[in-house]
Amino acid sequence: MTHETKSDRAAGDAMRAFRADPRLGPYFSLGRIAVEADGALALEGEVSSVAEKKLALLLAARSTGASRIADRIRVRPAAPVGDKEMRARLRGVLAGDADFTDLELREDVAAGILATKFEPVAGAPEPRGRIDIEVEGGVIILNGSVPTLVRKRLAGALAWRIAGVRDVVNGLVVEPPEEDGPDQLEEAVRVVLERDSAFDASQIKVGVRVRVVRLTGLLPSEKARQTAVNDAWTVFGVDEVLDEIDIRP
């Protein structure tokens, strides 16, 4: 009789949950699922979208009862983009957005070759906060402080739109601290949808229960619907998106 380890059981439970969910399907898999020495459930592998990444994290936590997840899932980009180019693109996006013009933007000019070294690249004379931008192997890392939860979430969502991104680590701190909840998450999702010119965000209704977002309304095409749903998935704090948007050309 074979000896089943804790990692074996966790991997089996997680894989069954993945393949039973129609949004992932019977062929979905990750490269590694294991319980590490500190008790965290490690998930590693490449997936095709932010939605698949977050669903895998959610289903793994539910099916195994894991209280801590070591998230090493990366999104497979449509085409590779260099870290330097990604930093430049994100810098341009944030510097050109009205919600970030009163902040200082700093960039890691060492780019992982030497010790981290940040230099200012844009910002107001008396900034209300700071965003430090790093990119390592296609992973965008945001640190610093911003005045509101909406801005923290918007910065992360805009980072997910940068070509070549494989993951976004949003370490921004809100100062002064704000109480978080469904209303704050709903506001952020609305702001993120409004930033996308691919569809008319006024045609979409957003509802939030705990950390689950429900999208309803009418859009003219399947492409617009998919874009809106993906935008919602990119918002920090969203665990699941229920897509109930109808298509009406």
- How does pLDDT run across 129-163, given as a tens digit for each residue? 999 999 999 999 999 999 999 999 999 999 999 99
The structure tokens listed for 41 are: 């459930």
Burial annotation 2-14 (CB, 10 A radius, 16+ → b, else e): eeeeeeeebbebb
Whether CATH 3.30.1340.30 fits 182-247: yes
Nearest to 231 by CA among 210, 213, 249, 209: 213
The structure tokens listed for 238 are: 């969203």
Q: What is the pTM of this model?
A: 0.93
Domain ranges across the chain: 6-75, 83-174, 182-247
pLDDT tens profile 62-88: 999 999 999 999 999 999 999 999 999
212 residue type, one letter? V
Helices (H), 112-181: 149-160
Residues lower than pLDDT 70 in the chain: 1-4, 111-115
State the Cα–Cα distance between residues 231 and 196, nearest whole angstrom: 8
In this prediction, residue 1 carries a pLDDT of 35
